A and B are shown apart, each in its own frame.
Chain A
Amino acid sequence: MKKSLVIFIAVFVGVITFLPFLWMISASVMPSGAANTFPPRIFPNKFDFSHYTTLFTRLNLTKYLLNSMIISFGVTLFSLLLNSMAGYAFAKFRFAKKKGLFKFLLSSLIIPAQVTMLPLFLILKNLGLINTYWAIFIPGMASIFGIFLIRQYAFSIPDSLIEAAKMDGATEMQIYLRVILPLCKPILVTLGLFTFMGTWNDFLWPLIVMTDANMYTMPVALANLMSEHVQDTELMMAGSVITIIPVLVVFLALQKYYIKGIMMGSVKG
């Protein structure tokens, strides 16, 4: 009895959560105006894929999709490289003021991102990087959260492995590349997913630094679409579907490692 109640609640919550997602997909293939009828429909009467065609032909979404891809993959790669180096160093290297420096970095987590946006924008503007990919790459290169995550994971790597590599003749760089990075794979995948999804879905920062319409990312382009085609719900939903597909694909493909990473981080950290 108790079990079936739990299952019922779980299914109910699942359906409620899934409903908007389902409606988004469903509305994206409804004919124009069908999504706004009353009573609202959950499934389309007739399938109409013209909105997808419109997005890629008239509205030139390919360009924005490409921007989002370059930015998300770029930020993810840079952040994995730098965060893993810093996290490994904080976990395994001995250097002066290590603990103090790490505490200082952690304490900066309490500063809201919005507070840093203006000074960051001004710095990038002075460097002439506004409306370039670097305006998003550079601020996203390292994150305290990423460093923390890698550091906690790297603690679980025995020192003797690093020492064995030293005895085997490896340089510090070779130890990092050939021993530490492969061992950190689960946590790197987790951090990579977080970063990729975060960057892909980020709206505010690309909106601030990408003022040129050619440099828009998907969420910014989609927001623009909303203001221009406010009545066209089906077109909006088609745009939303296109936006979440890459994230969904990456997430599902790496799900195995992602869960492993989260678990290992929590247990061994």
Chain B
Amino acid sequence: MAEVKLVDVSKIYEEKNKAVSSFSLEIKDKEFVVLVGPSGCGKSTTLRMIAGLEDISEGEIFIDGRKVNNVPPKDRDIAMVFQNYALYPHMSVYENMAFGLKLRKFSKSEINERVSYAAKILDIEYLLERKPKQLSGGQRQRVAVGRAIVRKPKVFLFDEPLSNLDAKLRVQMRSEIARLHKRLQTTIVYVTHDQVEAMTMGDRIVVMKEGIVQQVDTPLNLYNHPKNKFVAGFIGSPAMNFVEGKIVSEDGLKFVSSQGTLTFQLNPKQSEILSSYRDKKITVGIRPESFSAETKYESSVKTKLEFEEQMGNEVYLHFNVDGKSCIARMHPDVQYKIGDEINVGFNNFAVLFFDNAAGERIC
């Protein structure tokens, strides 16, 4: 197993078109790192540069201490699982898994042993003779993972491996991959656009936007201490609610939204940090789960219920604040009707404040 180190790595396709900008990251041995971000943020390009499938325009990549910038993929000792599985359609499952080993001139018995072992832990022993077209999506995905496992590479790369699966299977495979990581004790770099996958699987998460790393942190830190508005909005489902307004002095410091729908008193800690923002525009972020129908919080917002989404275990209430749609996540027993005047309280200790211009979190 190995460490992966990226130093100021950039990918420039054409002049001025930077897909990835100065990406630096040290991935520890046996670590599960997830690259996450919206489409076109450069996460897959970064993964492909680690794999050797894309040239590196600037910077350096090291795998297990060896610089691999000019090393072809086959000599990097890595394995990759592709989004569309990329199984060879003319080969059986066994042949698909054995292909890499055959090319590397492993003995027949060794190939047999490794394929059998991988098939056993992935529970695909009964599929070995079948062709990929005879498999379901989930089975194909297992074979693709199996093909990577048999090689016993230093690093596993996963490029959105679950995005072609249905929701139920995705959840199942998610936990299987996480379990596999624990069992194989390997370094994994995993790319996804699904923040739930990122949160549940990664030891650390790299959030990217437009080719630039926004934050690298553990899932909980990303959720609780996002560095900027983008990370705050990207991590968490449903996404964080943002309301623009300003800080005013009125019995201490107070936040007042642009149209005055949302006002609340700042707590002492917030007041201290935000004193320099008096009369300046600022954005607050409130997570849907910070709202409550009970009146246990001092701060609240009076509004009209636009519609609700009943999930069974929870309910999402949609309402308007200053003309912007907001969501509150509540206990499913909450009984409101569409059009009702509602008063939702929120914990103002959980409110995050962002600089309006740069989007950085202030506190």
Binding site for B on A (CB under 8 A): 158, 160-161, 163-171, 174, 178-179, 182-183, 185
B349 part of interface (Cβ distance < 8 Å):
no
Chain B residue, CB-CB nearest to A157: B89
Q: A167-B51, A168-B99 are in contact. Are A179 and B88 (CB under 8 A)?
A: yes
Q: Which residues of B contact A174 (CB under 8 A)?
A: 103
Question: Which A residues touch B73, using CB under 8 A?
Answer: 163, 166-167
* B18-54 interface bits toward A, Cβ cutoff 8 Å, 1 = contact, 0 = none: 0000000000000000000000000000000001110
* Chain B contact residues, CB within 8 Å of chain A: 51-53, 72-74, 78-80, 82-84, 86-90, 99-100, 103-104, 147, 151
Given the known interface contacts A163-B53, A164-B80, A174-B103, the answer about A169 and B86 at a Cβ–Cβ threshold of 8 Å is: no
Residue of B nearest to A164 (CB): B86
11 contacts between A and B (CB under 8 A): A160-B82, A160-B86, A163-B51, A164-B82, A164-B147, A166-B73, A167-B78, A167-B79, A168-B100, A169-B100, A179-B88
In the complex, are the beta carbons of A169 and B80 less than 8 A apart? Answer: no
For the complex, give the distance between the alpha carbons of A160 and B89 in Å.
12
**5 additional contacts, CB 8 Å, given A160-B82, A167-B73, A185-B90?**
A160-B84, A164-B147, A166-B73, A169-B74, A170-B74
Cα A217 to Cα B103 with chains together (Å): 44
Does B103 contact A169, Cβ atoms closer than 8 Å? yes
Q: Nearest-CB distance from A96 to chain B (Å)? A: 15
CA distance A244 to B87 in the complex (A): 42
Please indicate the chain A residues that have their CB under 8 angstroms from the CB of B147 in the complex: 164, 168
B164 CB to closest chain A CB (Å) equals: 12
User: Binding site of A, secondary structure by majority: helix, strand, loop or mixed?
Assistant: helix
Residues of B within 8 A of A183 (CB): 89-90
CB pair A182–B90 under 8 Å, yes or no, is yes
> A227 → chain B, closest Cβ, in Å?
50
Q: Which of A163, A166, A168, A171 has the most CB of B within 10 A?
A: A168
For A168, give its contact among B83, B90, B103 (CB under 8 Å): B103
Contact A167 to B80, CB < 8 A, known contacts A161-B86, A179-B88: yes
In Å, the complex CA distance between A182 and B52 comes to 25
**Residue among B74, B84, B90, B151 making CB contact with A166, cutoff 8 Å:** B74
* Least CB distance, B133 to chain A, in whole angstroms: 13
Q: Which residue of A lies closest to B98 (CB)?
A: A168
**Shortest CB distance B147–A (Å):** 8
Which residues of A are found within 8 Å of B80, using beta-carbon distances? 163-164, 167
Question: CB-CB < 8 A to B151: which residues of A?
Answer: 168
* Nearest-Cβ distance from residue A7 to partner chain B, whole angstroms: 37
Report whether B74 and A168 are in contact in the complex, using a CB–CB cutoff of 8 Å: yes
- What separation, in Å, do the CA atoms of A168 and B79 have in the docked complex? 7
Shortest Cβ distance from B3 into chain A, in angstroms? 20
In the complex, are the beta carbons of A163 and B90 less than 8 A apart?
A: no
Whether the Cβ atoms of B84 and A158 lie closer than 8 Å is yes
Question: Do A161 and B88 form a contact, CB below 8 Å, given A167-B79, A168-B99, A168-B103?
Answer: yes
Q: Please indicate the chain A residues that have their CB under 8 angstroms from the CB of B83 in the complex.
A: 160
Query: Closest chain B residue to A185 by CB distance?
Result: B90
> Across the interface, do A166 and B100 meet the contact criterion of CB distance under 8 Å?
no
Contacts of B84 in A (CB 8 A): 158, 160
Chain A neighbourhood of B72, CB < 8 A: 166
Contacts of A185 in B (CB 8 A): 90
Closest A residue to B153 by beta carbon equals A167
How far, in whole Å, are A169 and B80 apart by their CA atoms in the complex? 12
Chain B residues with CB below 8 A from A170, complex form = 74, 99, 103
Chain B contacts for A166, CB-based, 8 A: 52-53, 72-74
Query: Closest CB-CB distance, A169 to chain B, in whole Å?
Result: 4
Query: Who on chain B is nearest to A182 by CB?
Result: B90
B103 with A158: CB separation less than 8 A: no
Bound-state Cα–Cα, A168 to B103, Å: 8
Q: How far apart are B182's CB and chain A's nearest CB, in angstroms?
A: 24
- Name which of A158, A165, A166, A169 has the most chain B CB atoms within 10 A of its CB: A169
